[in-house]
A and B are shown apart, each in its own frame.
Chain A
Amino acid sequence: MDHLSYLFAAYSIIFVLIGLYVVFVSRRQTRLEREVTRLEGELRRFEQAQTPPEQHRSGI
Protein backbone atom coordinates (compact mmCIF):
# COMPACT_ATOMS: atom_id res chain seq x y z
CA MET A 1 0.00 0.00 0.00
CA ASP A 2 1.35 3.42 -0.81
CA HIS A 3 0.82 6.43 1.41
CA LEU A 4 -2.13 7.70 -0.57
CA SER A 5 -4.18 4.60 0.21
CA TYR A 6 -3.46 4.97 3.94
CA LEU A 7 -4.72 8.53 3.75
CA PHE A 8 -7.77 7.45 1.80
CA ALA A 9 -8.49 4.63 4.25
CA ALA A 10 -8.28 6.92 7.28
CA TYR A 11 -10.63 9.53 5.88
CA SER A 12 -13.14 7.05 4.51
CA ILE A 13 -13.31 5.20 7.82
CA ILE A 14 -14.13 8.44 9.62
CA PHE A 15 -16.94 9.29 7.25
CA VAL A 16 -18.28 5.74 7.01
CA LEU A 17 -18.45 5.30 10.79
CA ILE A 18 -20.07 8.68 11.40
CA GLY A 19 -22.51 8.03 8.53
CA LEU A 20 -23.41 4.60 9.90
CA TYR A 21 -24.01 6.12 13.30
CA VAL A 22 -26.34 8.74 11.84
CA VAL A 23 -28.27 6.06 9.93
CA PHE A 24 -28.50 3.91 13.04
CA VAL A 25 -29.78 6.79 15.18
CA SER A 26 -32.32 8.05 12.65
CA ARG A 27 -33.72 4.57 12.08
CA ARG A 28 -34.15 4.23 15.80
CA GLN A 29 -35.78 7.67 15.84
CA THR A 30 -38.42 6.71 13.25
CA ARG A 31 -39.12 3.45 15.06
CA LEU A 32 -39.61 5.28 18.35
CA GLU A 33 -41.80 7.92 16.71
CA ARG A 34 -44.02 5.20 15.32
CA GLU A 35 -44.22 3.64 18.77
CA VAL A 36 -45.21 7.00 20.29
CA THR A 37 -48.06 7.51 17.80
CA ARG A 38 -49.24 3.94 18.37
CA LEU A 39 -49.26 4.40 22.15
CA GLU A 40 -50.97 7.77 21.92
CA GLY A 41 -53.66 6.29 19.69
CA GLU A 42 -54.18 3.43 22.09
CA LEU A 43 -54.40 5.86 24.99
CA ARG A 44 -57.02 7.94 23.19
CA ARG A 45 -59.07 4.87 22.32
CA PHE A 46 -58.90 3.79 25.94
CA GLU A 47 -60.07 7.16 27.16
CA GLN A 48 -62.96 7.17 24.70
CA ALA A 49 -63.92 3.69 25.85
CA GLN A 50 -63.81 4.81 29.47
CA THR A 51 -66.04 7.89 29.11
CA PRO A 52 -69.42 6.38 28.07
CA PRO A 53 -70.01 4.40 31.30
CA GLU A 54 -69.35 7.55 33.26
CA GLN A 55 -71.94 9.48 31.26
CA HIS A 56 -74.29 6.61 31.80
CA ARG A 57 -73.70 6.75 35.51
CA SER A 58 -74.25 10.48 35.66
CA GLY A 59 -77.43 10.00 33.64
CA ILE A 60 -78.93 7.92 36.45
Chain B
Amino acid sequence: MKGAVSIALAAASCLSMIAALFMVFVYAPTEAEQGIVQRIFYFHLPCAWVAFLSFGIVAVAGALYLWLGHRIWDDLSYAAAELGMLFCTLVLVTGSIWAKPIWGTWWTWDSRLTTTFILWLLYGGYLLLRAFGEDNQEIARYAAVLGIIGVLDVPVIIISVRLWRTIHPAVLLTRQGEHGLQDPRMVAALLVSLGAFTLVFVWLLWLRLSTLRLRARIGGLRKELALLEVAGAGARR
Protein backbone atom coordinates (compact mmCIF):
# COMPACT_ATOMS: atom_id res chain seq x y z
CA MET B 1 0.00 0.00 0.00
CA LYS B 2 2.73 2.46 1.06
CA GLY B 3 4.94 1.35 -1.76
CA ALA B 4 2.13 1.87 -4.27
CA VAL B 5 1.52 5.42 -3.13
CA SER B 6 5.20 6.16 -3.37
CA ILE B 7 5.47 4.73 -6.89
CA ALA B 8 2.35 6.55 -8.05
CA LEU B 9 3.67 9.84 -6.68
CA ALA B 10 7.07 9.26 -8.29
CA ALA B 11 5.49 8.49 -11.65
CA ALA B 12 3.18 11.50 -11.47
CA SER B 13 6.09 13.79 -10.56
CA CYS B 14 8.24 12.51 -13.40
CA LEU B 15 5.46 12.81 -15.98
CA SER B 16 4.47 16.29 -14.89
CA MET B 17 8.12 17.34 -14.85
CA ILE B 18 8.50 16.17 -18.45
CA ALA B 19 5.34 18.07 -19.37
CA ALA B 20 6.71 21.16 -17.64
CA LEU B 21 10.02 20.87 -19.52
CA PHE B 22 8.12 20.57 -22.79
CA MET B 23 6.02 23.64 -21.97
CA VAL B 24 9.05 25.67 -20.96
CA PHE B 25 11.35 24.80 -23.84
CA VAL B 26 9.04 24.08 -26.75
CA TYR B 27 5.65 25.64 -26.11
CA ALA B 28 6.52 28.99 -24.51
CA PRO B 29 8.05 31.61 -26.83
CA THR B 30 11.44 33.16 -26.08
CA GLU B 31 11.18 36.43 -24.20
CA ALA B 32 12.18 39.43 -26.30
CA GLU B 33 14.32 41.42 -23.87
CA GLN B 34 16.21 38.82 -21.87
CA GLY B 35 16.31 36.10 -24.44
CA ILE B 36 16.72 32.48 -23.59
CA VAL B 37 17.93 33.00 -19.99
CA GLN B 38 14.44 34.12 -19.05
CA ARG B 39 13.40 30.47 -19.23
CA ILE B 40 15.16 29.91 -15.89
CA PHE B 41 12.32 31.83 -14.35
CA TYR B 42 9.77 29.08 -15.08
CA PHE B 43 11.57 26.79 -12.64
CA HIS B 44 12.88 29.51 -10.34
CA LEU B 45 9.47 30.74 -9.21
CA PRO B 46 8.04 27.25 -8.50
CA CYS B 47 11.10 26.54 -6.34
CA ALA B 48 10.35 29.68 -4.36
CA TRP B 49 6.69 28.70 -4.03
CA VAL B 50 7.58 25.26 -2.74
CA ALA B 51 10.16 26.72 -0.34
CA PHE B 52 7.61 29.09 1.17
CA LEU B 53 4.97 26.36 1.28
CA SER B 54 7.25 24.05 3.22
CA PHE B 55 8.19 26.75 5.70
CA GLY B 56 4.49 27.28 6.30
CA ILE B 57 4.12 23.55 6.89
CA VAL B 58 7.01 23.58 9.38
CA ALA B 59 5.20 26.17 11.52
CA VAL B 60 1.71 24.69 11.24
CA ALA B 61 2.89 21.15 11.92
CA GLY B 62 5.00 22.47 14.81
CA ALA B 63 1.96 24.18 16.32
CA LEU B 64 -0.10 21.02 15.88
CA TYR B 65 2.64 19.02 17.56
CA LEU B 66 2.64 21.32 20.58
CA TRP B 67 -1.13 21.17 20.70
CA LEU B 68 -1.82 17.48 20.04
CA GLY B 69 1.52 15.97 20.97
CA HIS B 70 1.45 13.27 18.31
CA ARG B 71 4.77 12.33 16.82
CA ILE B 72 3.57 12.43 13.20
CA TRP B 73 3.37 16.25 13.35
CA ASP B 74 6.94 16.49 14.53
CA ASP B 75 8.08 14.20 11.70
CA LEU B 76 6.11 16.26 9.20
CA SER B 77 7.68 19.52 10.28
CA TYR B 78 11.15 17.99 10.18
CA ALA B 79 10.60 16.62 6.66
CA ALA B 80 9.15 19.93 5.47
CA ALA B 81 12.09 21.88 6.91
CA GLU B 82 14.56 19.71 5.01
CA LEU B 83 12.67 20.14 1.76
CA GLY B 84 12.31 23.87 2.41
CA MET B 85 16.07 24.09 2.76
CA LEU B 86 16.59 22.14 -0.47
CA PHE B 87 14.24 24.33 -2.51
CA CYS B 88 15.42 27.54 -0.85
CA THR B 89 18.95 26.60 -1.94
CA LEU B 90 17.65 25.99 -5.45
CA VAL B 91 15.94 29.40 -5.45
CA LEU B 92 19.15 31.14 -4.46
CA VAL B 93 21.30 29.18 -6.92
CA THR B 94 19.01 29.52 -9.93
CA GLY B 95 18.42 33.18 -9.05
CA SER B 96 22.16 33.78 -9.06
CA ILE B 97 22.61 32.01 -12.38
CA TRP B 98 19.87 34.15 -13.85
CA ALA B 99 21.23 37.37 -12.30
CA LYS B 100 24.72 36.98 -13.75
CA PRO B 101 23.85 37.47 -17.44
CA ILE B 102 20.93 39.86 -16.76
CA TRP B 103 22.23 42.07 -13.95
CA GLY B 104 25.91 41.38 -14.55
CA THR B 105 26.46 40.12 -11.02
CA TRP B 106 25.91 36.87 -9.14
CA TRP B 107 24.54 38.54 -6.07
CA THR B 108 23.06 41.89 -5.07
CA TRP B 109 21.49 42.82 -1.78
CA ASP B 110 18.15 43.26 -3.45
CA SER B 111 15.29 43.04 -0.96
CA ARG B 112 13.88 39.76 -2.22
CA LEU B 113 17.27 38.11 -2.42
CA THR B 114 18.13 39.27 1.08
CA THR B 115 14.83 38.04 2.50
CA THR B 116 15.26 34.62 0.89
CA PHE B 117 18.79 34.42 2.18
CA ILE B 118 17.69 35.24 5.74
CA LEU B 119 15.03 32.52 5.50
CA TRP B 120 17.72 30.13 4.36
CA LEU B 121 19.79 31.02 7.43
CA LEU B 122 16.77 30.56 9.73
CA TYR B 123 16.06 27.08 8.48
CA GLY B 124 19.75 26.25 8.39
CA GLY B 125 19.72 26.88 12.12
CA TYR B 126 16.61 24.73 12.49
CA LEU B 127 18.24 21.81 10.69
CA LEU B 128 21.47 22.18 12.67
CA LEU B 129 19.39 21.88 15.81
CA ARG B 130 17.80 18.71 14.43
CA ALA B 131 21.17 17.33 13.39
CA PHE B 132 22.90 17.99 16.73
CA GLY B 133 19.93 17.16 18.89
CA GLU B 134 18.83 13.66 19.71
CA ASP B 135 15.53 12.16 18.69
CA ASN B 136 13.49 13.00 21.77
CA GLN B 137 10.51 15.07 22.85
CA GLU B 138 12.56 17.93 24.28
CA ILE B 139 14.19 18.58 20.93
CA ALA B 140 10.88 18.07 19.12
CA ARG B 141 9.15 20.70 21.26
CA TYR B 142 12.08 23.08 20.97
CA ALA B 143 12.13 22.67 17.18
CA ALA B 144 8.38 23.32 17.04
CA VAL B 145 8.82 26.57 18.95
CA LEU B 146 11.70 27.56 16.70
CA GLY B 147 9.65 26.85 13.58
CA ILE B 148 6.74 28.91 14.86
CA ILE B 149 8.78 31.97 15.79
CA GLY B 150 10.70 31.64 12.53
CA VAL B 151 7.50 32.04 10.56
CA LEU B 152 6.30 34.86 12.84
CA ASP B 153 9.54 36.60 11.99
CA VAL B 154 9.02 36.42 8.22
CA PRO B 155 6.72 39.48 7.82
CA VAL B 156 8.99 41.57 10.04
CA ILE B 157 12.00 40.47 7.99
CA ILE B 158 10.27 41.40 4.74
CA ILE B 159 9.31 44.86 6.02
CA SER B 160 12.69 45.61 7.55
CA VAL B 161 14.65 44.47 4.52
CA ARG B 162 12.46 46.52 2.19
CA LEU B 163 12.92 49.63 4.34
CA TRP B 164 16.63 48.95 4.54
CA ARG B 165 16.92 48.85 0.74
CA THR B 166 14.83 51.94 0.07
CA ILE B 167 16.68 54.05 2.59
CA HIS B 168 20.03 52.88 1.27
CA PRO B 169 21.23 54.08 -2.15
CA ALA B 170 19.07 51.92 -4.38
CA VAL B 171 20.55 49.33 -6.70
CA LEU B 172 20.40 50.61 -10.24
CA LEU B 173 19.33 47.30 -11.61
CA THR B 174 15.74 46.46 -10.93
CA ARG B 175 14.08 43.18 -11.60
CA GLN B 176 12.58 43.44 -15.01
CA GLY B 177 10.75 40.77 -16.88
CA GLU B 178 9.47 39.04 -13.77
CA HIS B 179 6.01 40.33 -14.18
CA GLY B 180 6.43 40.70 -17.88
CA LEU B 181 4.80 37.46 -18.93
CA GLN B 182 3.04 39.12 -21.84
CA ASP B 183 2.31 35.94 -23.71
CA PRO B 184 -0.48 33.63 -22.43
CA ARG B 185 1.71 30.67 -23.44
CA MET B 186 4.31 31.86 -20.90
CA VAL B 187 1.68 31.95 -18.17
CA ALA B 188 0.60 28.43 -19.13
CA ALA B 189 4.19 27.16 -18.94
CA LEU B 190 4.59 28.77 -15.54
CA LEU B 191 1.38 27.20 -14.23
CA VAL B 192 2.35 23.75 -15.46
CA SER B 193 5.75 23.94 -13.79
CA LEU B 194 4.14 25.19 -10.58
CA GLY B 195 1.97 22.09 -10.63
CA ALA B 196 4.93 19.85 -11.41
CA PHE B 197 6.99 21.24 -8.57
CA THR B 198 4.11 20.88 -6.15
CA LEU B 199 3.83 17.21 -7.11
CA VAL B 200 7.57 16.67 -6.75
CA PHE B 201 7.35 18.32 -3.36
CA VAL B 202 4.54 16.03 -2.22
CA TRP B 203 6.47 13.00 -3.44
CA LEU B 204 9.67 14.00 -1.65
CA LEU B 205 7.71 14.84 1.48
CA TRP B 206 6.15 11.38 1.38
CA LEU B 207 9.56 9.73 0.94
CA ARG B 208 11.17 11.65 3.77
CA LEU B 209 8.19 11.17 6.03
CA SER B 210 8.32 7.41 5.61
CA THR B 211 12.00 7.33 6.62
CA LEU B 212 11.12 9.39 9.67
CA ARG B 213 8.30 6.98 10.52
CA LEU B 214 10.84 4.14 10.31
CA ARG B 215 13.11 6.05 12.64
CA ALA B 216 10.26 6.33 15.14
CA ARG B 217 9.56 2.60 14.77
CA ILE B 218 13.21 1.76 15.43
CA GLY B 219 13.15 3.92 18.54
CA GLY B 220 10.07 2.01 19.76
CA LEU B 221 11.62 -1.40 19.02
CA ARG B 222 14.86 -0.47 20.78
CA LYS B 223 12.93 0.62 23.85
CA GLU B 224 10.95 -2.62 23.88
CA LEU B 225 14.10 -4.68 23.53
CA ALA B 226 15.82 -2.80 26.34
CA LEU B 227 12.80 -3.36 28.59
CA LEU B 228 12.80 -7.07 27.81
CA GLU B 229 16.51 -7.28 28.56
CA VAL B 230 16.05 -5.57 31.92
CA ALA B 231 13.10 -7.82 32.72
CA GLY B 232 15.07 -10.89 31.64
CA ALA B 233 18.03 -9.91 33.83
CA GLY B 234 15.67 -9.38 36.75
CA ALA B 235 14.00 -12.76 36.22
CA ARG B 236 17.36 -14.56 36.07
CA ARG B 237 18.41 -12.95 39.31
User: In the complex, is A directly touching B at CB under 8 Å?
Assistant: yes
Instruction: Report the minimum CB–CB distance from B166 to chain A (whole Å).
Output: 29
Complex: how many Å from CA A33 to CA B210? 11
Q: Is the CB of A10 within 8 A of B204?
A: no
Instruction: Report the minimum CB–CB distance from B4 to chain A (whole Å).
Output: 16
**How many positions in chain A have a CB within 8 Å of any CB in the partner chain?**
31
Residue in contact with B90 in the complex, picked from A1, A14, A39, A53, CB distance below 8 Å:
A14
Complex: how many Å from CA A21 to CA B82? 10
Q: Is the CB of B43 within 8 A of A36?
A: no
Q: Scan residues 37-54 of chain B and give those whose CB is less than 8 A from a CB of chain A.
A: 37, 39-40, 43-44, 47
Residue in contact with B37 in the complex, picked from A3, A18, A22, A46, CB distance below 8 Å:
A3
Q: In the assembled complex, which residues on chain A have CB atoms less than 8 Å from the CB atom of B221?
A: 36, 39-40, 43
Q: Is the CB of B100 within 8 A of A43?
A: no
Q: Which of B64-72, B138-146, B212-220 lies on the face that meets chain A?
A: B212-220
**How many positions in chain B have a CB within 8 Å of any CB in the partner chain?**
35
Asked, given contacts A7-B37, A18-B86, whether A32 binds B225 with beta carbons under 8 Å apart, the answer is: no
State whether the Cβ of B235 lies closer than 8 Å to any Cβ in chain A.
yes
B contacts, CB < 8 Å to A: 35-37, 39-40, 43-44, 47, 86, 89-90, 93-94, 97-98, 100-101, 200, 204, 207-208, 210-211, 214-215, 217-218, 221-222, 224-225, 228-229, 232, 235
Q: Can you name 29 A-B pairs with beta carbons within 8 Å? A: A1-B101, A3-B37, A3-B101, A6-B97, A7-B39, A9-B97, A10-B40, A10-B94, A10-B97, A11-B43, A13-B90, A17-B89, A18-B204, A21-B204, A25-B207, A25-B208, A26-B207, A32-B211, A32-B218, A36-B214, A36-B217, A42-B225, A43-B224, A43-B228, A46-B229, A46-B232, A49-B232, A50-B228, A53-B235
